[in-house]
Amino acid sequence: MAGLADLSTPIMMGIFLGGLYVLIALGLSLVFGVMKLINVAHGDLVILGAYFAFFAMTGEIMGHRFAIFGMDPILSLVIIIPILFGIGFAIQKFLMSRAFGVSMEAPLIIAFGISLIIQNSNQIFWTPYSRGLTPPYALESFSVGAVHVPLIYLLDFIAALVVMLSLREFLRRTYLGKAISAASQDSRAAHLMGINTGRVYAFAFGIAMATAAIAGVFLGLTFPFTPTSGVSFLIIAFGVVIIGGLGSMMGTFIGGMILGLAQTLGGYFAGATAQMLILYILVLVVLAVRPQGIFGR
């Protein structure tokens, strides 16, 4: 029989892993909250961030290797965040803004197209093989009593807290943040109050992609990834948002913890392949029982 002491490791890892899931879900939640758009390309954009960090670290692209690189993945965020912000800004400004007027499903189909384009580009630039970000500290672990946890899991959790709190402060305190909140609550009223909603939307998408960049780098440090990994992380992000309830940042946080715990405990009791299945069934059950999420109104 497994004792409680054995359980403390998966519980600890689950909570920390939940931090990574919160990080991935924040951008999805922001885009949904502001533009009511389900960005099905979110997972692929996160993976794109991971590939950018891979490129910055190894200099490998399309079979060539440029030795001048060798940046630390976390340090490379200084470059990757602006790039992904720009990509997000451009997607909203040039593609999505025109699709909103067409029909309800048009933005979704465009996001689907973008997802395919990014997946295929990642495959062209970095081959279909599994990649990972492995600076020396990614392999270290620390122990508290009987609990052994990889160091990177702790970093995931800290990054999630930092990004979440700074996003909250940004939305509360800055003019742009307040404008984004206003546009998400009532875009017509915000427009009448002199807020340029088109521009606000583009900024919101850009900021969501900036969080996706951070999520991508930490994801790459935690797990190996392939060009098609985006779909499974998209579904995890959906799960976090669904369980926590849309529009509630606290809910997103707790949703991430629940999914992280479900995955590590599922893996502990049922094995590695079954842990993803347990995750998906949990999402479907929550959808069936409480579609507005556990913390949704």
Partner 1 sequence: MRVTIPRLRGGLIPLVVVAAVLAVLPLAGAPLQWFLYLFLFFIYLAIANMWNLLCGYSGLICLCLPAFSGLAGYTMIIGTWVGLPIYLGIIAGAVVAALFALLISFPVFRLRGIYFAIGTIVVPEALKYVFLLWRPVGGALQGGGAGYVLKGAAEFSTVDIYWLALGIGIASIFLMRLILRSKLGLGLAAIRDNDSTAASSGINVFRLKLYSFVIAAFVTGIAGSIFYVHQAYIEPLSAFNISWTMIAILGVVIGGLRIEVGPIIGAAIVTMLHFQLARYAGISLLIQGAILVGIMLAAPQGIMGLIRKVRASRSPLTVSH
Note whether 285 binds partner 1 by CB under 8 A: yes
Q: Verify binding: residue 264, partner 1, rule CB under 8 A.
A: no
Q: Footprint of partner 1 on residues 32-61 (CB under 8 A)?
A: 36, 38, 40
How many chain residues bind partner 1 (CB under 8 A)? 44
Q: Under 8 Å CB-to-CB from 93, ≥6 apart: which residues?
A: 198, 202
Q: Which stretch binds partner 1 (CB under 8 A): 65-73, 173-181, 211-219, 237-245?
A: 237-245
Sign of the dihedral defined by the CA atoms of residues 23, 27, 29, 34, in that order: positive
Applying CB under 8 A, which of residues 98, 148, 168, 172 lies at the interface with partner 1? 98
Pick between residue 150 and residue 227 the one whose CB is nearest to partner 1.
Answer: 227
- How far is the C-alpha of 59 from the C-alpha of 267, rounded, in Å? 35
Q: How far is the CB of 275 from partner 1 (least distance, A)?
A: 9
Among 79, 108, 138, 294, binds partner 1 (CB under 8 A): 108
Pair of tokens at residue 227 = 């060009």
Residue 110 CB, nearest distance to partner 1 (Å)? 5
CB of 131 to partner 1, least distance (A): 18
Instruction: Give the tokens for residue 12.
Output: 């600890």
Contact between 125 and partner 1 by CB under 8 A: the answer reads no
Tell me the C-alpha to C-alpha distance, in Å, between residue 274 and each of 37, 59, 135, 269, 277: 31, 36, 30, 9, 5
CB of 49 to partner 1, least distance (A): 19
Question: Measured between alpha carbons, how far is residue 261 from residues 27, 37, 150, 176 in Å?
Answer: 21, 28, 16, 35
Determine what percent of the chain falls in helix, strand and coil, rounding each to the nearest 5.
75, 5, 20
3-state secondary structure of 65: strand
The site for partner 1 (CB under 8 A) is made up of 36, 38, 40, 95, 98-99, 102-106, 108-110, 112-117, 119-121, 123-124, 231-232, 234-235, 238-239, 242, 273-274, 276-277, 280-281, 283-285, 287-288, 291
